[in-house]
Chains A and B, each alone.
Chain A
Amino acid sequence: MSTPGTRTVLVLLDSAGTELRSPVLELITVGRSLGRVEAVALEAPSVGVLAQLGAYGVALVRQAEPSSGGEVVTGDALHLTPVVAEVLAAATRASHADAVLLTSSFPNKEAAARLAFLTEAGLVVDASALTDGGTHLVADKRVFAGSWDVRSEIVTDPAVLTLRANSVVPQPADAAVATEVDALRVELSPAATAARVVSRTVDESAGAGRPALGEAAIVVAGGRGTNGDFGPVTELADALGAAVGATRDAVYEGWHDQFVGQTGVTVAPRLYIGAGISGAPHHRGGMQASQVIVAVNNDPECPLFEISDFAVVGDLADVLPQAAEVLREHRASQG
């Protein structure tokens, strides 16, 4: 590999929406600390996205134009995991990238794995940090439900990583640049489109007005202890500008739509507040890497207290609304 600061880093822009979400801006921020960043887009970037890329110092976007057997591949099929992987492999070759960064969603982890398979790259999924070790890139990762930190160096070139949200604070570049869009023609293998997308629906309303669960800096989650009333949980979340999460049990009861945990969404926010949540290993596995953990539970023996920094023994229906009230007053007094 090359000397630090001179690497080429590719970042996958995973949504074609009107603006780039924070986790993608984090990838660009990390990428810039290693060298030059190029973006790869599956669909045409909007004017707003181009402006953001410029502000973040990304001069080039490679917009995929895949085809299969002479037919142009467009629409939902662009999101098939093998298609994403082959597009990224072509972009890696075109830009001689040293590293490819993706956000840590389940589909992206699979795309990253297939990309590493195609390019014989080293792979780290769910990394929490990426730095330049001089000879090799060095990735940090929390494993075993956040109880161990592992640092690995990626000895193969290129390096493919998915990076967890909230790994760094997104920082625009010192100087903005003009961003160019280049077409990236890719002839896909027949296997890439062997599966067909029958339908694909993006839930635009998901968490309307609230940050997305996997990306939020603050998460307030409710469990069985809410008894089905998520009012106090959402009230506190709104007072904090937080995302709302739940346990799997609460989601299965139909009280909320997304749960935190090993089989749900993994979160590592600055602040996690769990109310009416016992703290089962499956749940902890998805939140234990949070920086500060606060628990509210009427059982003083509740296991979540063991990994908490602050805890209130009490009924969440009393504690959460009171906390929200005090926080609203505090905010108002700050102007």
Chain B
Amino acid sequence: MRIVVAVKYVPDIHADRGFEGGRVVRRADEGTLNELDENAVEAALRLKEALPEAERETSEVIVLTVAGPDADGAVRRSYQLGADRGVRVSDDAVAGSDYFGTARVLAAAVRRLADEAPVDLVVTGMAALDGLGSVVPALLAAELDLPQLTLAGKLEVEGEPGARTARVTRELDGVEEVLEAPLPAVVSVTDHANDPRMPNFKLIMAGARSRVLDASPRPPRPDAEIVVDKGEGGRALAEYLIRNDLV
């Protein structure tokens, strides 16, 4: 089985982020592997580990990222975790590309890998915690013309080599779905799917089909009015809501 895991470098969500000239600015030293991609790497490693030994030895987990050389440390890190290969696609035209551009470049890279030997599964995280569009996996499936099984809380792969199906269970907005598709397919996993073993990445993205007109930090909220409960805290809360027409 050959599994490609698409991962992304993002700014640390605990660090300051902002805009400059219509582009997201990120400081290199604040980059991390998008936390939610750890679940994707984990899912791929577990699928490989569950294979019978003979097949496992010929199977490959390939970590794919679109980023500059500063991402190499993280690609190296993915070897330590058990990935067999790391591929970094670097293209200046890609820096600052939008969802569509990102999906197109990832798709081209997956096709290149599939030219070497068939790719059975492409796994991604559910969203990048920076852009939080969570639409790249669906676009990647569209680009590759493969079935999409996204936002999986559970992923199972069944069947014999060459005739496998992936089955995912997902629960979204009160709708529980079980979806199934023959491989090859594009799967995105949520952080419910597993408990990952790892950490470190980074990349860039902003708008192209839409253009940023104006980006401004929201004014900080004024300091909170703080009441210490000495028996009347609940009443004070209720009165605050009533006074501000919030009931």
Contacts and interface: CB of A to CB of B under 8 A. Distances in A.
A310 B240 contact: yes
A218 to B, nearest CB: 7
A109 interface: yes
Given A294-B237, A327-B247, A200 B226 contact: no
B134 A106 contact: yes
A311 B224 contact: yes
Interface residues of A, number: 94
Contacts of B111: none
Interface in B101-135: 103, 126-127, 129-130, 132-135
Interface in B16-51: 17-19, 36
Interface stretch (A37-45, A50-58, A92-100, A148-156): A148-156
B138 interface: yes
Contacts, number: 258
A68 interface: no
Contact of B213 (A142, A153, A330): A153
A281 B13 contact: yes
Given A110-B150, A155-B210, A330 B226 contact: no
A256 to B, nearest CB: 14
B215 A195 contact: no
A201 B224 contact: no
Most buried by A among B214, B235, B240, B246: B246
A154 B229 contact: no
Contacts of A199: 176-178
A262 B236 contact: no
Nearest to B209: A122
Contacts of A152: 207, 210-213
A109 B135 contact: yes
Interface in B83-110: 99-100, 103
A150 B139 contact: no
Nearest to B167: A198
Interface in B212-247: 212-218, 221-222, 224-229, 231-242, 244, 246-247
Contacts of B13: 145, 262, 281-282, 285
B14 interface: yes
A27 to B, nearest CB: 16
B191 interface: yes
B68 interface: no
Interface residues of B, number: 79
B174 interface: yes
A321 to B, nearest CB: 7
A105 interface: yes
A247 to B, nearest CB: 14
A108 to B, nearest CB: 9
Contacts of A144: 17-18, 130
A33 B175 CA distance: 32
B226 A311 contact: yes
A59 B224 CA distance: 47
Contacts of A178: none
A331 B246 CA distance: 12
Contacts of B138: 81, 110-111, 113-114
B181 to A, nearest CB: 4
Contact of B210 (A124, A282, A319, A325): A124
Contacts of B244: 292
Interface string B182-220: 100100001100000000000000010111111111100
B19 to A, nearest CB: 7
A302 to B, nearest CB: 10
Contacts of A228: none
B239 to A, nearest CB: 7
A222 interface: no
Nearest to B172: A106
A112 interface: yes
A199 to B, nearest CB: 5
Contact of A314 (B18, B135, B173, B229): B229
Q: Which 10 A-B pairs have the closest CB atoms?
A: A322-B234, A314-B229, A326-B238, A113-B135, A194-B147, A110-B138, A206-B174, A323-B234, A198-B178, A195-B181
Interface of A: 76, 79-82, 85, 105-107, 109-114, 116-118, 121-126, 138-139, 142-156, 191, 194-203, 206, 212, 214, 218, 240, 262-263, 265, 270-271, 281-282, 285, 292-296, 300, 305-315, 318-327, 330-331
Given A300-B226, A325-B234, 6 more contacts: A81-B148, A142-B218, A151-B214, A191-B147, A296-B233, A307-B221
20 contacts: A117-B103, A122-B209, A122-B210, A123-B100, A124-B210, A126-B132, A143-B132, A147-B217, A148-B216, A196-B180, A200-B175, A201-B175, A202-B175, A262-B129, A285-B13, A285-B132, A307-B221, A309-B221, A310-B225, A322-B234
